[in-house]
Amino acid sequence: MLALTLTPTASEKVQEFIQEHGVETDAGLRVAVLPGGCSGFQYGLNIEDAPEDGDEVMDLGGVKIFVDPFSAQYLDGIEIDYVTSFMGQGFSFRNPNAAGGCGCGSSFTV
């Protein structure tokens, strides 16, 4: 099973987004790894109504998480947080599998 952590702050923010968008009760957060970005791969987050066939589905702090098989290989051990700083706010990723990254914080290499 995939080890993925969603901090309490991130969990609250995802629940707010789900409520704001008025999606169904089966809705959850899709966490994906996509080719692209400055370093080769980038993270993708999206609120979706339901999981797709083949997805790994987790319940973390009352938030459903959907991860496709391709992305799962890069997300084991990752922590997703929601941070607020002088420069702005948004989701941040701490990925122990990443060999490198870039200044944007949403792109990485393996």
54-65 pLDDT, tens digit each: 999 999 988 999
Strands 88-94, 5-6: pairing is unpaired
Q: Residue 80: which residues within 8 A CB-CB, separation 6 or more? A: 4, 5, 6, 7, 10, 31, 45, 91, 92, 93
- Calculate mean pLDDT across residues 84-98: 82
The CA-based dihedral angle spanning residues 15, 28, 62, 87, taken in that order and rounded to the nearest 10 degrees: -40
Number of domains the chain contains: 1
The rounded mean pLDDT for the chain is 83
- pLDDT > 80? residue 99: no
Domain of residue 89 covers 5-109
Q: What is the mean pLDDT of residues 89-96?
A: 86
What average pLDDT score do residues 39-61 get?
89
CATH code where residue 15 lies: 2.60.300.12
